[in-house]
A = this chain, B = another copy of it.
Amino acid sequence: MKLLPEEFNWHWIIEWSTPSTAHMHAVKNVYAYGNSKYQRWAVVEYEDFGKALVIDGKIQSSIIDEYVYHESLVHPAMILNGNPRKVLILGGGEGATAREALRFKSVESIVMVDLDEEIIEVSKKYLNEWHRNSFYDKRYKLVIGDAYSYIKDSKEAYDVIISDLVDPEEYGPAVKLYTKEFYEMTSERLGERGIFVTQSTSPVSTPTVHAVIYNTIKSVFKYAISYYVYIRSFESIWGFVMASNEVDVSRIKGVDIEKAEEGLVEDSNRYYDNESHSHMFYIPKYIRSILERERRVSTLKDPIYLPA
């Protein structure tokens, strides 16, 4: 068959994993596009993945699987705490991390600290499927500002602190938010049975960065564990690290999470059930090996950043 060039997609976002590996995604529509004080962003419709938020060339989440990412980020920590009332979210611009936290009936207040007000406004306007009006929930409070300063100045105790920040890219604003010093301050902001959880980049695309984040958290908290989920629109496995000084977070592996969420969570999860849970906490050997080999800890003086 003879193809016509007109039939080829022509509008593409090329997401570079490294200078030698990239993902090409055809764009069907552009809803909005801009440059905020901190980053270049776009709300687009991918041909294959539907609506998505892209920041500085990286897909942040897409409508086909944002729930996989956000349920994985939020639920294990909330369940381990058992009775989360006060929640702190660092980053989380799309509003979906708040949405998942607000589904826990015990939650009384959520503070979300995000640097980039423009992204929040964009999310409010274009990403209703993500935030589901969480921005307007009376338990939700937004603080525009730097997470480092907020954590440093805060006197509060939170039941769960969820870090949903952009990756620590060289020269980017998030590098210091993955350091030992920051995690030490964060650990002091945890209340009784307090749990900290963070996205921790991809263990396969950026294995060193992921392993150093894991190591750094392990060096600060008494208990730490990592877990993983494949995110279709990232075309990669994604990593999370959960930690606590009071709760042995490795116990999550044995929890019947469907039962644990009964009565605790409104309506039902789209992704996170017992079998998905087991999949996430049994770690394939090629990832375990990366963690075992790594000895570095990220510090303000010698931070880790992308790429390794």
A interface secondary structure, majority: mixed
Q: With the chains together, A271 CA to B284 CA distance in Å?
A: 8
Find chain B residues with CB under 8 A from A280 CB. Answer: 284
Q: Is A47 an interface residue (CB 8 A)?
A: yes
Q: Is A136 an interface residue (CB 8 A)?
A: no
* A20 pairs with B30, CB closer than 8 A: no
Binary contact readout A13-36 vs B (1 if CB under 8 angstroms, 0 otherwise) = 111111111111110011001010
Q: Which of A99-107, A121-129, A191-199, A229-237 contacts B (4 or more CB under 8 A)?
A: A229-237
Q: With the chains together, A19 CA to B7 CA distance in Å?
A: 9
Q: Is A291 an interface residue (CB 8 A)?
A: no
Which of A9, A48, A169 has the most B CB atoms < 10 Å from its CB? A9
Which of A16, A23, A232, A280 has the most B CB atoms < 10 Å from its CB? A16
* B288 pairs with A284, CB closer than 8 A: no
* B26 pairs with A23, CB closer than 8 A: no
Which residues, 153 to 196 on A, are CB-close (under 8 Å) to B? 169-170, 172
Find chain B residues with CB under 8 A from A144 CB. Answer: none
Min CB distance A237 to B, Å, is: 5
* B57 pairs with A11, CB closer than 8 A: yes
Q: Is A302 an interface residue (CB 8 A)?
A: no
Min CB distance A188 to B, Å, is: 32
Q: Is A135 an interface residue (CB 8 A)?
A: no
Find chain B residues with CB under 8 A from A57 CB. Answer: 6, 8, 10-11
Which B residue's beta carbon lies closest to that of A19? B3
Q: With the chains together, A100 CA to B29 CA distance in Å?
A: 33
| Partner-B contacts on A (CB < 8 A) | 1, 3-26, 29-30, 33, 35, 42, 46-48, 56-58, 65, 68, 169-170, 172, 204, 229-230, 232, 235-237, 270-273, 275-276, 278-280, 282-286, 288, 306-307
